[in-house]
Structure 1
Amino acid sequence: MTRSETTPSPRRQELLEAAYAYALRSGLGELSLRPLAEEIGSSPRVLLYLFGSKDDLIRSLLARARASELEALRHAGDRVGRTEGVGAAARVLWDWLSDDAHRALLRLWVESYARSLIDPDGPWAGFARATVEDWLALLAEHQPAELRANEAGRTQRTLVLAVLRGALLDLLATGDTARTTAALHLQLDALP
């Protein structure tokens, strides 16, 4: 159990937010405590005291990033009525995903997702699987009850998620919003 789990503090939260802003700018792959601490007005010793270890700090940052992503996606999804279907929800989610304002968070997500696959025993462990489950649950909220509960519904959610993520990776690589949006809409139009 880390110090942060036994004694949460306002300073820990303040440093977590500052470290999160740093991670959005710089990523997590090459995170080093000394430059991070200098950038956020702390010291490596304080970070280790508050977070327990560098790996625990990374886990806290990943949890923070997931919380931000889910909150934003849930808010975007809430703009669609629950009866409009998963395709309508995916279009609204894509509007959020393709907005330039969210590129830093999405690049951090891609980095963390990939690291989770490459280093399954490190601080990224389980990140990719957890985000898949998060997104599938979010998409399920926009399916009729009978689809939510059966294999056909899960398959539909998986297809929509694959299309969203594929388009997102392409968009992050190319910046071509018009082409990726058109491709996404073409696929979503084919949904039953």
Structure 2
Amino acid sequence: MPPPSTSPSARETELLELAYEWTLEHGLSDLSLRPLAAAIGSSPRVLLFLFGSKEELVRRLLARAREDELAWLRSHEPATRGLAGTLVETWAWLADPAHDALLRIWVEAYARSLVDPTGPWGDFARTTVEDWIGLLARAQPASERRTARGRNRRTLALAVLRGGLLDLLATGDRARVDAAVRVAAAELELPG
């Protein structure tokens, strides 16, 4: 007898995508199965059957959000742009209003994973830092990647991106935050 299939059914995939679209609009922190199920044409019972628990559904939604982020990271080869160029280009992607909903989910999940590392949020913050540090490391010459200075410079670049994102989402002051990111990028180009 063959082992049971571990790949999701078509209905599970469909409901996950619908739940993801709903989550982009409504967030994750107050997720309740009943309103979610009604909004996506399902029932709490079906969601629990397909996903096992509300926590597992949240885990799967976070993984789905991360797929969007990782798709951009995989499509982006920063080696020819250097650290400063990658900072500016990454910021342009983060600051694009088309990504606001995804980035609000990211901020929510990041914060929740710091408070509740054992829940469905798990190690979201840590793995996100590793993902972005990896992108920034690839933007540096190999000789710089291995140095403390190189590590510090990419950590600074990540801090600028993360801080700028939080500021932009909080204030909507795109011009001011864009200008600050350009200043940080210029500082990263300076030898030192």
- Whether the TM-score (by the shorter chain) exceeds 0.5 is yes
Are 1:113 and 2:110 an aligned pair? yes
Pairwise CA RMSD: 1.6
Letter paired with 1:111: E
CA displacement at 1:153 relative to structure 2: 1.7
CA displacement at 1:67 relative to structure 2: 1.1
CA displacement at 1:150 relative to structure 2: 2.8
The correspondence for 1:133, drawn from 130, 135, 151, is 130
Residue matched to 1:187: 184
In structure 2, relative to structure 1, the CA distance for the partners of 1:5 and 1:167 (3 Å cut) is farther
Residue matched to 2:173: 176
Q: Matched residues in 2 for 1:177 and 1:7: separation?
A: 42
Q: Matched residues in 2 for 1:5 and 1:112: separation?
A: 29
Residue matched to 1:35: 35
Any gaps of 5 or more consecutive residues in structure 1?
none
Are 1:157 and 2:154 an aligned pair? yes
Number of equivalenced pairs: 186
Instruction: Check the 8 A contact 1:73/1:93 in 2, yes or no.
Output: no
Residue matched to 2:141: 144
Give runs of aligned pairs for residues 11-30 of structure 1, distance below 5 A.
11-30=11-30
In structure 2, relative to structure 1, the CA distance for the partners of 1:73 and 1:175 (3 Å cut) is farther
Residue matched to 2:53: 53
Identity, in percent, stands at 60
CA displacement at 1:6 relative to structure 2: 2.8
Q: Matched residues in 1 for 2:112 and 2:44: separation?
A: 23
The correspondence for 1:166, drawn from 163, 166, 179, is 163
Question: Cα deviation per residue 1:90-130 (whole Å; 9 max; x = unaligned)?
Answer: 10111111111111001111111111111222111111111
CA displacement at 1:135 relative to structure 2: 0.5
Residue matched to 2:10: 10
SS of equivalent to 2:176 = helix
- TM-score scaled to structure 2, two decimals? 0.91
Instruction: Check the 8 A contact 1:73/1:96 in 2, yes or no.
Output: no
Give runs of aligned pairs for residues 57-72 of structure 1, distance below 5 A.
57-72=57-72
Q: Which structure is higher in RCO with an 8 Å CA cutoff and minimum separation 6? A: 2
- TM-score scaled to structure 1, two decimals? 0.91
Q: Matched residues in 1 for 2:21 and 2:175: separation?
A: 29
Letter paired with 2:19: A
Q: Matched residues in 1 for 2:81 and 2:14: separation?
A: 40
Letter paired with 1:160: A
Letter paired with 1:127: F
